[in-house]
Amino acid sequence: MRATCDTAATSGAMVNGQVTSRDVDAGDHRLRVYACGDRVLPAVVLVHGSGPGVSAPSNWEHLLPVFAEAGYFAIAPDVLGFGDSEHPDPAPAGGMPEYTDLRANSLIALLDALGIGKAHFIGNSMGGMISLRIAQIAPERVDRMILMGSGGAPMKPTDDLMRLITFYDDPSPEAMAGLLIRFVDNTDLFAGKLDQIAADRAAKANRPDVRRSHLATFNPAFNPVGYSEEALAQIKNETLVLHGREDRMLPVRAGYYLAENLPNAQLHVLPHAGHWIQIEQAERFVEQAKLFLGEPATLPSDRRTRQDNT
């Protein structure tokens, strides 16, 4: 059965016949939110990673209907400071640590705006780091977590991650193409479309608001967010850590660090996979996610009362 989105329930514009998009006031900020599925079902929030020109659709659009069909209300926001969500101006001055707190709190506010008491979180890269922060400051809002190629391990950036961080030294389509191929193990994934994909992504990356948010996020005056062993030990949520064996952005030892220090975590290392497991190994990712999240309840007890204007 093909999953569809109820436009009356989500009150959004149809994106591709299945996924809707809308702007949501989440606390003090506006977020662009992509969604699919019945809003009365358990929620799963998919949080994308960082990078110049990245957005929720680039990470998750192909998977939103899959999770909807599995019995979830699937939500993928453009994280604050990315895509078509609000880009704070002036941008936060405290680099990645301050922006991570701001982004985590905006997603908690998004749950409030959508009437969701608790949700599963699936975070890729920076999205995993944000999900961990939400579990720290509002553990009652997080059910299970899937951390995929996740940030949060205290380690020096790899050379390939530095290409991402310093992209605006040469924000050209050619530089974007050189960056994109480092996210995957098998570059055949691009199937002759690399130049077009890179050109489209570079155009988005060179929007002034996107550039401003990227440079503020990776302000070199501040260290990246790294969770100590003691901090991770306090996060009790059941967690699945997925990591590509060939990940060049965040090496597999980052996944081991998280799995060893989160008290209720399990680790699965996927061979022949880089940083974009959800794209490069989509079927295996979905299989692992469904197995871990289990069968959703039809009517979750933690669903808050809906507001007609949400």
DSSP the chain: ------HHHH--EESSSS-EEEEEEETTEEEEEEEES-TTSPEEEEE---STT--HHHHHTTTHHHHHHTT-EEEEEPPTTSTTS---SSPPTTHHHHHHHHHHHHHHHHHHHHTBS-EEEEEETHHHHHHHHHHHH-GGGEEEEEEES---S--PPPHHHHHHHTGGGS--HHHHHHHHGGG-S-GGGGTT-HHHHHHHHHHHHTSHHHHHHHHHHT-TTSPPP---HHHHHT--S-EEEEEETT-SSS-HHHHHHHHHHSTTEEEEEETT--S-HHHHTHHHHHHHHHHHH-SPPSS-TTBPPPPTT-
Tens-place pLDDT, residues 21-79: 999 999 999 999 999 999 999 999 999 999 999 999 999 999 999 999 999 999 999 99
Q: Is the pLDDT of residue 128 over 90?
A: yes
pTM of the model: 0.91
> How many percent of the chain have pLDDT more than 70?
90
Mean of pLDDT over the chain: 91
Residue 221: pLDDT band with limits 50, 70, 90: confident
Residue 220: pLDDT band with limits 50, 70, 90: confident
Asked if 62 is an active-site residue, the reply is no
Predicted pLDDT of residue 15: 56
Q: Is the pLDDT of residue 254 over 50?
A: yes
Residue 308: pLDDT band with limits 50, 70, 90: very low
Q: Is the pLDDT of residue 165 over 60?
A: yes
Q: Which domains does the chain show, CATH number per domain?
A: 7-293 (3.40.50.1820)
Q: What is the pLDDT averaged over residues 272-283?
A: 94
Predicted pLDDT of residue 130: 98
Residue 297: pLDDT band with limits 50, 70, 90: low
Tens-place pLDDT, residues 223-243: 778 999 999 999 999 999 999
Q: Which of 29, 214, 243, 275 is catalytic?
A: 275
